[in-house]
Amino acid sequence: MDLALSFLLFLCFFLLGEAICGVWKIDFPEPGEAFVFSSALGIAAVSCATELMAFLGWVCPASAWTVLGLILAARAGKLREMARGAPYRFRAVLATLAKPALSRFELFNLCVLGVLIFMALTLAQTPPAKTDALAYHLAVPKAYLEHRGIVNLPNNIYSFFPLQFEMVYLFCLALGGENLAKLAGLGTVFIFLSALCLYYKRHLSRRNVVFVAVLFFLTPTFLELSAEAYVDLPAATFAFLAYYSWERWRTAGRDGWFFLMTVFTGFAVAAKMLSVILVPAGLLGIAWIGRERKKNLWTLGSAAVFLAGVALFLLPWWARNYHYSGNPFVPLFAEALPLNGRINWDAGRSSQFFQYVHSFGMGRGVKEFLWLPVNLTFLAEKDSLRFDGNIGLLYFLLLPAVFFIGPRKPAARPIAVRAVSLFFVFLIFWFFHSQYIRFLGPAFAFLTLVLAYGLDNAAAPPPPAPLGRASRWPRSGVVLKKALPLLAVAGIAYNLYLDATYWLRVKPLPYLMGMENREEYLLRELPVYSLYRAFNRSLSEDDRALFVYMRNFGYLCEKKFISDSVFEARTLQSVLEPGVSPDGIAGRLRALGVTHLMFDNRFVFGKDSAFSPDQLELLRNFLNARARLVAGKNGFYLYRFVIN
pLDDT in tens, 309-359: 999 999 999 999 999 999 999 998 888 888 888 899 988 899 899 899 999
Cis peptide before 331 (omega within 30 of 0): yes
How do beta strands 544-548 and 560-562 pair? parallel
Q: Which residues are registered as beta bridge partners of 631? A: 638
Give ∠ CA 63-69-71 in degrees, rounded to 5: 110
Q: Give the Cβ contact number of residue 29 at 10 Å.
A: 11
Question: Each residue of 517-549: b (16+ CB within 10 Å) or e?
Answer: eeeebbbebbebbbbbbbbeebbeeebbbbbbb
Q: Give the Cβ contact number of residue 47 at 10 Å.
A: 24
Q: Give the Cβ contact number of residue 153 at 10 Å.
A: 21
Q: Give the Cβ contact number of residue 472 at 10 Å.
A: 12
445, 368 Cβ separation under 8 angstroms: no
Quick one: pLDDT at residue 515?
Answer: 94
Q: Exposed (0-12), middle (13-18) or buried (19+): which is 238, by Cβ within 10 Å?
A: buried
Amino acid present at 545:
A
H or E element in which residue 228 lies: none
Quick one: pLDDT at residue 242?
Answer: 98
Q: State whether residue 379 is helix, strand or coil.
A: helix
131, 320 Cβ separation under 8 angstroms: no
Rounded to two decimals, what is the model's pTM? Answer: 0.95
Alpha helices in 518-581 (DSSP H): 518-525, 529-538, 570-575
DSSP state of 381: B
DSSP state of 342: S
Quick one: pLDDT at residue 458?
Answer: 84
What backbone phi and psi angles, to 5 degrees, belong to 607? -70, -25
Quick one: pLDDT at residue 413?
Answer: 84
**Cα 55 to Cα 65: distance, rounded to the nearest angstrom:** 18
Quick one: pLDDT at residue 96?
Answer: 61
Q: 3-state SS string over 113-178?
A: HHHHHHHHHHHHCCCCCCHHHHHHHCHHHHHHHHCCCCCCCCCCHHHHCCCHHHHHHHHHHHHCCH
DSSP state of 526: -
Q: Give the Cβ contact number of residue 134 at 10 Å.
A: 27
The whole-angstrom distance between residue 80's C-alpha and the CA centroid of its chain comes to 35
H or E element in which residue 296 lies: helix 296-325
**Cα 25 to Cα 39: distance, rounded to the nearest angstrom:** 16
Q: pLDDT, tens digit, for every residue of 79-99?
A: 888 888 778 777 766 666 556
H or E element in which residue 57 lies: none
Q: State whether residue 627 is helix, strand or coil.
A: strand
**Cα 262 to Cα 246: distance, rounded to the nearest angstrom:** 9
Quote the radius of gyration of the chain (alpha carbons, Å). Answer: 26
Low-confidence ranges of the chain (pLDDT < 50): none
Quick one: pLDDT at residue 84?
Answer: 85
How far CA 489 is from CA of 85, 119, 301, 632, in Å, comes to 39, 20, 49, 48
How far CA 424 is from CA of 219, 267, 513, in Å, comes to 19, 22, 45
